[in-house]
Structure 1
């Protein structure tokens, strides 16, 4: 190789030192309540959504879509701290994971949802004055992006974990959400009443109890594992976030704002350390998520739930 060619390849450029990052273990240990997320999770779920119907034939202006789900989520550790520079206080270091969530119809295998995002662990801050917290950020192909914030709870259940009831009853925008157990006045939600504005055929095995409270699927799953399969729920880390914490929120494209405005979202992800009947430990994630869709004067809870097992 000639000297001229060697020079053109950059041999005389100033040396640029490599930028080092912390070892993977140190970064992983810094994840705190998020430490068990990295890896691949898969399992079944259920989705209930009242979506707008523009045909003019629906008496209540919506179609109730019900789906069994098959979900796959892969979490990857962000390999170094992310520095947030402070102006009112000193800098903070955020640790986190990225994720990609894919959802298909549990019966047909058809594509339903894809969601890239991140979970973040945020240290305590002085300005604003705030305890350690977590955040979840994601983007939705309908034209939404959300940021929810919240906290983690560590529990050691005595038997079955507590999964509080929920309500799917729509309500007038700006009024309180009906309490769990409130009767639903809309025929689309009542399986004893035929309706052309509900999924048909119904997903096999769907019950009225799941339409009234989709979290019943989580209770049934964990009860079978504990009471029939002989599993033990050793401990649970609950990741609880929402848009109702004077932080975060949801941004929508104009079409969403005008047709099915999504303004609020709450989710609870329970990372369960399980022990099977042979004494083997495995990780399981039970989650519930509720997004409020506002259209035609009402708020409609869009609920999804699932039980996913960490495979690797």
Structure 2
């Protein structure tokens, strides 16, 4: 059937349009943008009919739900690529066997890269039951970790590092709200892990000024315990010694102990690796730091969070066989974001007439062979002699403990690392750090 339809223009609209064929008509306001969605659907704009409307009951407007604007907070420090070194330990499956004997306590000397992408902007969320609407802020990240443990040299110098971990996800900041009643905003890390577990860890964002000096990292235990009872360390593992064993990689720690890469102190407390990273050069100083903690275990003040596992890890409901296979039960991680000062020598030169940018290494790196970022220094004044200045960069350190449940026990899986900017840190000519140049 062919139907001829004429669209009559309103005042100021284009001339009438004739459309051949079956037609659906939409009556919408002139101010709206109109587009044809297919060859048989067109829009028809017309004046609203003048129909008298009887007065109805007065309806009170709903209260305005104020919008809480988001900000990155501490996540503003997570920019670009950070890289560095650390250590990882895990009771991983043996190549054969079953039950509690199917475990090898493996240590990895790691190299790591975390890349933080540009924040994705405002993420609007609806408030309800008294909570305001708010904007979350999110920073996407990827994490790549490789093992550089070289059993032949006793150092972290394996020519071709072995990939052992990849993770991607989001760091998210939630502004303070009235419900739940937390004293400030919150930070969440939502990540996906190849092991077969996804995590949603959250915590209270840090407030107040940075703490002066280097962090105190405390201790973390590698000893497994009965599920639900951290105080019940397993007798068979409670007295682990720094000695060769068939159920350990590397089996012989002699070379690593001599090089300082893996010592008895590190074996008993992996956080020792973080302390060493802050004290390995007299030409480097941790000026101040900020600490915050994230956990997948919810609390009354901060409910939610948790882990989710694939079926192979989770196991079936109840207690029938097969039992869970290394179920990722929880994760807790502490971050220390520090400002680090390092000595950098600015070479003499006449830079007033010919401003330049120099790529310079720190003295900690050049003399002590300690890994620090390079600095791209902008120079616009003459320097009469080589001058040592203290330049700064942001350092990220973390200690993470993933609890793996299987065989009636909770097995700690601990990772620590010290990360620094992967690209050169730019220092402007008018930076106060260059004020003493003459």
Is the TM-score greater than 0.5? Answer: yes
- Structure 1 residue 163 displacement after superposition: 1.1
Structure 2 residue 288 is the aligned partner of structure 1 residue 235: yes
TM-score of the two chains, using structure 1 as the length reference: 0.82
Change (3 A) 1:129 1:160: closer
- Structure 1 residue 59 displacement after superposition: 6.7
- Structure 1 residue 295 displacement after superposition: 1.1
Change (3 A) 1:139 1:177: farther
Contact 1:137–1:145 (Cα < 8 Å) also in 2 = yes
- Answer with 1 or 2: which has the greater Rg: 2
> What are the within-5 Å matches in structure 2 for residues 132-281 of structure 1?
132-153=185-206, 156-177=210-231, 185-186=236-237, 189-192=240-243, 194-200=244-250, 204=256, 205-225=261-281, 228-229=282-283, 231-245=284-298, 246-257=303-314, 258-277=324-343, 278-281=389-392
Any unmatched runs of 5+ in structure 1?
A: 1-11, 16-28
- Structure 1 residue 54 displacement after superposition: 6.8
Contact 1:53–1:62 (Cα < 8 Å) also in 2 = yes
- Structure 1 residue 43 displacement after superposition: 0.4
TM-score of the two chains, using structure 2 as the length reference: 0.59
> What are the within-5 Å matches in structure 2 for residues 292-311 of structure 1?
292-311=403-422
Partner of 1:46: 87
Partner of 1:20: none
- Structure 1 residue 151 displacement after superposition: 1.9
Contact 1:52–1:260 (Cα < 8 Å) also in 2 = no
Separation in structure 2 between the aligned mates of residue 210 and residue 172 of structure 1, nearest angstrom: 24
Partner of 2:161: 109
Change (3 A) 1:103 1:188: farther
- Structure 1 residue 309 displacement after superposition: 0.5
The answer to which structure, 1 or 2, has the higher relative contact order (CA under 8 A, 6+ apart) is: 1
Change (3 A) 1:155 1:306: farther
Contact 2:215–2:336 (Cα < 8 Å) also in 1 = no
Which is strand-richer, 1 or 2? 1
RMSD over aligned CA atoms reads: 2.6
Change (3 A) 1:40 1:173: same
Contact 1:155–1:235 (Cα < 8 Å) also in 2 = no
Separation in structure 1 between the aligned mates of residue 296 and residue 265 of structure 2, nearest angstrom: 28
